[in-house]
């Protein structure tokens, strides 16, 4: 490990080893915003602590490169800091900060992208040889989340932490973003689409079947995880057709092989009882003889009971928004129109 620490540049931003003459500028550049997100007192960065940090970065680079820290330069001046720390074999954690007066100009994005490229490059080519680099960012730190995604890190999820165990006392979780050595570059269409897909909003989709008997009663189920009743169906799996999901759920939970017909209703469900918002799609399950219920074999883990019920019984047994959804679907079916759209079941 006797090779000197490299200088990295994209023509606009340069990452270089720290120098002793950087101390005063770095201390002056640290402010309340940096202190807030890193969880240290505003006056924690002094000339002494900065010199110690520079010495530690130099020593760490020489000793197995467990931490590699760079000064960030733009337009010939020091504007910030970035580093990558080895967390596991082949995995590095990225960290960055821009100094007061240097934010909002794209420097952080360029710096983090340069550092990620360096960390993921093979050791034989002068890189660190990591197969993965990651960053953990608090959900409220919008600026750093933008930097991470624009740098090519894909959002993977939320890592929850016990209060008091994170960088700040208030921290309850971090957004985890990462890039793998095998990820296509974001300059390629596949890589850019995958990046967008990692952080664009996603909604849960639920598919249900409106199954009736010859008397106009509706098949409803009492679920094991709640007291009220609902239409048969369930959550659409990733990559699964909502229409096929409705039939699959009914087959799995009730052993009824019913093909989903046309889409009757799209119902937006607002956040409720610990659930995020969702879209519920109600498909026509057709009209059947009442004896259909005799062939039901309930999945004990999911279903307590299932039977045909009148609209009055639906109102008694179902949550109000579920009852409204069923009545809205029945009304649309009777009208013979296209797909209706409602929110929380419809008016009422």
| Domains in the chain, CATH or no CATH each | 8-199 (3.40.630.30), 204-343 (3.90.79.10)
- Residue 275 confidence (pLDDT) above 90: no
The predicted model gives 40-61 an average pLDDT of 94
Residues 110-131: what's their mean pLDDT? 96
For residue 29, count CB atoms less than 10 angstroms from its CB and return exposed for 0-12, middle for 13-18, buried for 19 or more: buried
pLDDT of residue 348: 44
- pLDDT bucket at 192, cuts 50 / 70 / 90: very high
Rounded to whole angstroms, the Cα distance separating 171 from 162 reads 8
Distance CA(316)–CA(117), nearest Å, equals 61
Mean pLDDT value across residues 263-288: 92
Distance in angstroms (rounded) separating the CA atoms of residues 334 and 331: 5
Kindly state the tokens that stand for 12.
């606009």
Distance of CA 325 to the CA centre of its chain: 29
pTM, entire model: 0.80
More confident residue, 246 or 336: 246
* Mean pLDDT across 59-88: 95
| pLDDT of residue 197 exceeding 50 | yes
């Amino acid at each position: 490990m006797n090779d000197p620490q490299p200088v990295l540049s994209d023509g606009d931003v340069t990452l270089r080893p720290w120098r002793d003459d950087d101390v005063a500028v770095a201390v002056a550049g640290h402010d309340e915003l940096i202190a807030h997100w890193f969880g240290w007192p505003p006056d924690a960065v002094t000339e002494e602590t900065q010199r110690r940090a520079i010495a530690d970065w130099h020593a760490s680079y020489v000793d197995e490169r467990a931490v590699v820290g760079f000064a960030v330069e733009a337009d010939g001046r020091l504007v910030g800091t970035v580093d990558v720390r080895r967390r596991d074999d082949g995995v590095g954690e990225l960290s960055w900060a821009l100094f007061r007066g240097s934010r909002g100009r794209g420097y952080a994005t360029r710096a983090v992208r340069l550092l990620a490229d360096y960390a993921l490059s093979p050791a034989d080519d002068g890189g660190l040889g990591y197969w993965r680099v990651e960053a953990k960012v608090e959900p409220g730190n919008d600026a750093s989340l933008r930097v991470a995604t624009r740098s090519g890190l894909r959002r993977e999820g939320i890592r929850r932490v016990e209060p008091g165990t994170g960088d700040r006392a208030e921290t309850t979780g971090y957004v985890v973003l990462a890039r793998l050595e095998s990820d296509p570059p974001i300059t390629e269409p596949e890589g850019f689409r995958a990046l967008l897909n990692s952080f664009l909003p996603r909604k849960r989709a639920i598919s249900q079947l409106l199954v009736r008997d010859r008397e106009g009663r509706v098949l409803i189920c009492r679920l094991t995880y709640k007291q009220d009743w609902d239409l048969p169906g369930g959550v659409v799996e990733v990559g699964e057709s909502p229409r096929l999901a409705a039939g699959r759920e009914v087959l799995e939970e009730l052993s009824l092989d019913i093909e989903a017909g046309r889409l009757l209703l799209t119902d937006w469900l607002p956040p409720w009882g610990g659930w995020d918002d969702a879209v519920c799609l109600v498909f026509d399950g057709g009209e059947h003889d009442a004896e259909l219920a005799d062939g039901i074999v309930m999945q004990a883990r999911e279903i307590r009971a299932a039977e045909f019920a009148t609209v009055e019984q639906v109102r008694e047994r179902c949550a109000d928004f579920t009852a409204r959804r069923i009545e809205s679907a029945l009304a649309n079916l009777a009208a013979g129109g296209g797909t209706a759209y409602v929110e929380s079941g419809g008016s009422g």
